[in-house]
Structure 1
Amino acid sequence: MLKPALIRSTLLLGLLLPALAPATELYRYVDDQGVTVLSRQGVPPELIGKGYEVLNEQGRVIQVVPPAPSAEEMQRLLMEKARAGSDKQLLRLYSSPADVDRARERKLVELDGLIGVAQGNLQSARTQQANLQSQAADYERAGRAVPQQLLSQIDSQKDEQRRLQKEIDRYKELREQAEVSFAADRARLGELLDRQR
């Protein structure tokens, strides 16, 4: 015969076991054929992106996992995030449109200085080439062959002029890009400051 304490312990354990057991969850999702499925096993990996619901043992929805965004939505979200980061950076750099104007002027003066230096170097290279060609002409007028070293120096000056012209063109392009970029920054900053008012 069982002792009363053992009977009470057995009854208590019988009552507590269901409460201690983990709650059973059901997963509701739509399969590839468009059929709604209830499963205790979970959602197949290839269907997780479509979204699903988690239900408790009474059939109540306790969690909704939305579908993954489409490629277009993902692109839009990434663009919005990038725009927000850009706006934050813009507000950190400039407190007013006048700040943008001052930064623009500094950048344009810097680029104009670089263009001026490169143009001066180009003019110097052209002058050196003209002097070297004059020397070569003196050799030819005297009926002598132009030394190879002199011809190499002329070619070197021509190469230097091409390099300098590319550099000038690049600086001018950077200047144009800076004009456009600062104009866009000024306009966007104006919009952001208007929203804050």
Structure 2
Amino acid sequence: MQCQTVRSAQPYLLIAWVTVVGIVCPASVFAEELIYRYVDENGYTVMDDRIPQQYVKKGYSVLNVYGVVVEIVAPALTAEQLSLLEAGAREKVKLERERAIIEAADKQLLKTFADPSDAERARNRQLEALDIRIDITNGSIKRLVIEKESENAHAARLERAGRAVTKEILGSLERIDRQIDNAYTLIEEKQREKVQLRKAFAVDIRRLRELRGMPAISEAE
């Protein structure tokens, strides 16, 4: 035997609901029956021993025959709510990944440099190495310029003597010009490396000071 559907614009008082159930339903079903409370399309609160499928996603409560709520089923999430939930989950994963990357970078940084002064010494050593390379290249340019002047002087003597400049001299002058151009290009590259090196170490030194609890320093310092 099934209980009759009971509709109400307002929730029943517990004692009233128990009275209604006692009248409509036989005592033999009390131990088995559960009552589903939901709101229909007209806004009425419905209590029944079953719930139509179209109302399940709107949420409902499950009561025993004494009117005690034994379970509350929340409404299904809307498409917009699901989208927001998924976006939040993606953002959480993104933040966790970024945090893991930062933690790994910090660990490696502390493993590489004991403190900011250690990083500063490493920076200075690398800058000095680049300066040495630039000085060597400048020295090569000076030697190439002298060699070029010598070849030009040789070519001028031949022309004054009414003789043609040899292919060897012309080839040597072309080679010297290429080497000088390459040397200047190398110097420009090393100068750019110095700028990038300072920027990279500035980031590391700033982070080391943060990790070691040291006060920040201005760019001028």
TM-score by length of 2: 0.54
The whole-number CA distance in structure 1 between the counterparts of 2:93 and 2:155 is 67
Task: Specify every segment of 5 or more residues in structure 2 that has no aligned partner in the other structure, as ranges.
Answer: 1-55, 58-72, 74-84, 215-221
The whole-number CA distance in structure 2 between the counterparts of 1:91 and 1:180 is 18
Match of 1:45 in 2: none
Q: 1:100 offset after TM fit, Å? A: 1.1
Q: Which amino acid aligns with 1:163?
A: N
Task: Specify every segment of 5 or more residues in structure 1 that has no aligned partner in the other structure, as ranges.
Answer: 1-34, 37-59, 61-65
Q: Which has the larger radius of gyration?
A: 2
The whole-number CA distance in structure 2 between the counterparts of 1:78 and 1:161 is 49
Q: Which of the numbers 82, 105, 109 marks the counterpart of 2:124?
A: 105
Q: 1:77 offset after TM fit, Å? A: 4.5
Match of 1:84 in 2: 103
CA 1:127/1:181 → structure 2, altered by over 3 Å: closer, same or farther? same
The whole-number CA distance in structure 2 between the counterparts of 1:100 and 1:187 is 10
The whole-number CA distance in structure 2 between the counterparts of 1:139 and 1:170 is 39
Q: 1:126 offset after TM fit, Å? A: 1.3
The whole-number CA distance in structure 2 between the counterparts of 1:185 and 1:99 is 11
CA 1:81/1:126 → structure 2, altered by over 3 Å: closer, same or farther? farther
The whole-number CA distance in structure 2 between the counterparts of 1:112 and 1:74 is 45
Does 2:161 align with 1:142?
yes
The whole-number CA distance in structure 2 between the counterparts of 1:127 and 1:75 is 60
Q: Which of the numbers 148, 154, 166 marks the counterpart of 1:129?
A: 148
The whole-number CA distance in structure 2 between the counterparts of 1:74 and 1:127 is 64
Q: 1:106 offset after TM fit, Å? A: 0.8
Q: 1:89 offset after TM fit, Å? A: 1.0
The whole-number CA distance in structure 1 between the counterparts of 2:92 and 2:167 is 66
Bigger share in helix: 1
The whole-number CA distance in structure 1 between the counterparts of 2:122 and 2:106 is 17
Aligned-CA RMSD value: 2.8
Deviations 1:13-46 (A, max 9, x none): xxxxxxxxxxxxxxxxxxxxxx96xxxxxxxxxx
Q: Which of the numbers 185, 194, 197 marks the counterpart of 2:204?
A: 185
